[in-house]
Structure 1
Amino acid sequence: MKSYSTLEEDDGDGLDSLLDTMTNVVGILVMVLIATQLGVKDAVDRIAQSEKGSQESVQMLEQQYISNQALQQQLEERFKDINSESTRQVELVKLRQQLENTTSNLQAAKTESQLLSVKLKEQRKAAATIVAAMESQKKEKEQLSKEISKNLEEEARLKALLSDYQGKPIAGTESLTLPNPRSVPEGAKQFTLLCKTNKIYPLFFNEQDRTFTRKAIEAIVQQRQLFRGPELGVNHEVLLPLVNRKPPTSEYFVTNLTRSGIYPRISFTPRATRGIALKEVLGTKSRFSEFLDSFDRNSFYMRFFVYPDSYEIYMAARRAADKRAILAGWEPQDDDWVYTTHLGGSLLFGPKPPPAKPNPNPPSPRPAPKLID
């Protein structure tokens, strides 16, 4: 049977029940709180670990990204290098082809240049030969022109002389020969005769006379110390007056020392009071006739230098020489012409000229002068 409690008992039981309930709730809350704290810590730890891992992952990803970028850049550079190398290879092939073409063209040009050089040398030689021949022909032409002019002058003078000639006429039995210009016989020496003031002046001057004259002049140079060294040579301003103050005189000539540039020469001036007159030339027993009879025509030939006033005596002397088969030639001269010859030796009035350079294309030898007519 149910017992009924009092009010105080009911209130005490209620409080106890409430207290138990609160205790249970508090316990549950504590457990929940503990559980919550544990979960939060774990979550915090997991979050922290997750965040830490994420940061590391991010750093790793960043590093990997940077590494990939560097690798990509390297690959791009390598790709550029590969492309550039390929381009260079193509250009190199082109350049090699151009080089081969250029080398081939240069070789062809070199061969052609060598051929042209050979042809040019041949043409130069031919041109030099032609120029030398032209120069020789020009000189020969000038010489022929001079000879023609002289011959024309001679013809005019002879005609005038013959028209005025009042001497002995040529006998009908005598004959005149036409001129026959020809060279001097080999080994024959020239004997000089001057025709001036209608007289004959034979020049007896040989190599011994030349040597004697030169030594006499060299002695004066040494005594007066006129040699001024190889650069100046002998003082001609002092030497010439010394020698010519008392010039040597022969039977027919007065001899003087002259100069032609740096070279000393000997001049021969006919003596006005001497000479072989026309009468002696025409005489058959004169000294001149004896001279012609004894003349060595095998070793010498006569060379007449004729002044304008002496054609008459030249023709007479020439006829006398022709009768004796003496070879002779002649050359007309002006009034102021003076016969000179070289002194010889090493005496000079200035520095010795340098030796002539050898001519790579020497001209053809000149023909011997035709002094005999």
Structure 2
Amino acid sequence: MKRKRRSSSGASLDSLLDTMTNVVGILVIMLTVTQLGVGEAVDRIKETLPEITDEDMERSKKQVQELDSLLDLEKEQLQTVKELTQQKKVVNIDEQKKMAEKLQKELQKLKEIQINIEALKKQIAERDVKVKTLEKTIVTKETELAEIKAKLAKTPDPGPTPNAKIVNLPNPRDAPKEAKAVEYICRNGRVLRVDIPLLQALALKAIAQSRLVTAQEQAVDCDKLVKLFENRNVGNRDWRIKLKPAGGVPYLILEPREGRGDTSERLRKSSALFRQDLQRINPRLFYLNFRVWSDSYDSYLVAREYADQRGVLAGWSALDSNSEFRVSLGGNLKLTCSGYVPPPAQPKAAEPDLPPPTERKLPGTKID
């Protein structure tokens, strides 16, 4: 069949096309006007904004980087806080307060400390001078010591001295149990035995005969007692007894008589009194106690030689040449000098033994 031809008598589309054309034209005009307005607005915004340089851009980038770093740090701290919170770690506020108070006190102390810097500098300078002086002195002494050593190295050994004496060093040890001492004095180059109890008895007898003392304990006129022993020849054939007050108390001074005792030469003879006494001494019951003055070491060494040969133990103490041989009164007589008042802390001293200050004391019952 043949297609039917469209009839030309239908509605026309021209008016629709005209309308659409007008609408498009209006839209184009509006778009153009809008673009022009936007361009002007952009120009106005650019005019109000400051000009941005490359340096500003770099600075902004750095600030952005720093902000990123701070943000990362804050994130780490936040994470740490979260972890502490998860682990239930609670901060003790009271302890923190106490720590803060303690720190404040220490800070206050530091503020109160005042250091004189100038004084410290001065002290350091003075010490530096002293140190330098000592260093110079040390160098000088070391130099002198080196010179002396060099001289000694070149000096030939002279050998033993012709008059040298061999002395055995003492070996202190306890005396035999319940052994009694036999007293000897080495003085004026002689060795002399001394019986102290006997001489004390002779002195007490002389005091009793003088009738200056009427009681065992009383204050006496010590000057009269001194004159009594000066005027009377109290003692025996070996010893002269004198009296002398010391510290408000009278004491006996024992002085060997002229020519009494054995010299070092006489000790070499069998007839010497010391060697005869040794023959009568029992080594198990007695030991020798020597008091040696500085002028009689030779006599003492000879006497010790014979004591060692006999097997009698001995001890000794050294005294200066100016030392006195002083002993107490002994017995039951307790005297003080008239007018003497003892110290309050020492109401009643018991017969003290007052050796001279230069005496080198050894243990009382030690022997060597």
TM bucket (normalised to shorter chain) is: 0.3 to 0.5
The two structures have a TM-score, normalised by structure 1, of 0.45
Quick one: higher RCO (CA 8 Å, sep 6+), 1 or 2?
A: 1
Between structures 1 and 2, the one with greater helix share: 1
